[in-house]
Amino acid sequence: METTTDTPWLDESQQRVWRNLLGGITVLMDRLDRDLRSKHNLSMPEYEILVRLSEAPGRSIRMAELADMIAHSRSRVTHTITRLERAGIVVRGQCSDDGRGVSAVLTDHGFSVLEEAAHTHVQGVHDYLVSNASPQEFAVIGDVMERVLTTLHGRSF
């Protein structure tokens, strides 16, 4: 392994924070995913798609735009939408603005599934994350992650 003096190696404290961040995000997302799967037969990526669709005008978003919004590949979003479509939670249709693209549309059934799952998800976020931080600490986490998103993705979500 080649070493250079240009590499900003992490000191012991930074290494501890970095490893705690990685471990914390992993176990948090796994637990939130497990809760949604066990109670609502939804994964975290599926839940995130439903939230985005529910917030969009007409509960509809172009598939390509949806993939960009949630930072997933188009093929992954297509696969996920196919599963949700089989369950009657979303439908695909032509884009109303130009007719060339394909949109995912949240059905009324899908909206009711989301309403039920939202209680589980928000309770989990509160229990597993919010309750483990002071309001100031929670605000700092949000500020740092917003800067990371802006730096790496060009915008926050």
State whether CATH 1.10.10.10 applies to domain 21-152: yes
φ and ψ of 108, to 5 deg: -60, -40
pLDDT at 96: 63
Instruction: Give the amino acid at 44.
Output: M
Question: Phi/psi zone of residue 51: left (φ > 0), alpha (ψ -120 to 50 degrees), beta?
Answer: alpha
What are the domain boundaries of the chain?
Answer: 21-152
**Structure token pair of residue 35:** 């809760």
- Among 49, 67, 22, 47, smallest CA distance to 124 is for 47
pTM of the model: 0.85
pLDDT at 154 over 80: no
pLDDT value, residue 72:
78
* Mean pLDDT taken over the chain: 91
The pLDDT tens digits of the residues spanning 63-116 come to 889 988 887 788 888 899 999 999 999 999 876 666 668 899 999 999 999 999
Q: How far is CA 144 from the centre of its chain?
A: 17
When mean pLDDT is compared across 9-23, 41-55, 58-72, the lowest value belongs to 58-72
